[in-house]
Amino acid sequence: MPDATKTIKTDEVVHAELEILKQKHNVDTFNAALRHELGIVPSIESGLDNLTAYLIPEFQETVRDIVEILSAPALVQHVSEESATTYTAADSTYLQFVGDDTSRVLFEIAIDELGFDVYYRTNKGKMEKVASGQQEENGLHEYGVGGKTADHIEKKRLLQQIRQKADGARARWLEN
């Protein structure tokens, strides 16, 4: 999307309402608030197919399961003005999840062409890898927990580990 700066003149009442919308949607700009109100911010669900397009079908399903775990009622997806639900760094696209009443990122999913990594906010406040899925060049794929990918970790164990860390991060960062 080309960068375009436009000025919209408003009276004080409209300006005040726009300020309220920024708070309501937890965004920093009027543009982002209006994107929400006008329904032109893609949802996680609609963008997930694009984010996982290069992944093997099993990983696509796993990422959907992880999003379901991380987007529990206490959380909403982080939406930035520039990228709607994601940002890109290095070779990965990151999907962030923040607390409803905070601007603190609690979880991230980094997705690239060969797999994904899931991060959570630790008790000490640092983002740390909790799980991953990687496809090897030979077509084999594997899941891992923690900072490493290990052969033959079952999807069920991967999701249990993510759920455990997600519950801990919610308890630590949303209830304090």
Distance from C-alpha of 174 to C-alpha of 63, rounded to nearest angstrom = 23
pLDDT mean across residues, the chain? 78
What average pLDDT does range 19-26 have in this prediction?
82
pLDDT score recorded for residue 79: 32
Q: Return the C-alpha torsion angle 132, 63, 107, 35, nearest 10.
A: 140
**What local confidence, expressed as pLDDT, does residue 78 receive?**
39
User: What pLDDT sits at residue 149?
Assistant: 58
Domain boundaries along the sequence of the chain: 1-41, 44-174
Count the neighbouring beta carbons within 10 Å of the beta carbon of residue 20: 10
- Condensed to tens digits (0 to 9), the pLDDT of residues 33-61 reads 787 777 665 556 667 888 888 899 999 99
Give pTM, 2 decimals: 0.68
What CA–CA distance (Å, rounded) separates 53 from 74? Answer: 28
The pLDDT value recorded for residue 167 is: 87
Mean pLDDT for the stretch of residues 135-157 = 78
Q: Are 161 and 145 in contact (CB under 8 A)?
A: yes
pLDDT tens, residue by residue, 69-116: 887 655 544 333 333 346 667 678 888 887 756 667 888 899 998 899
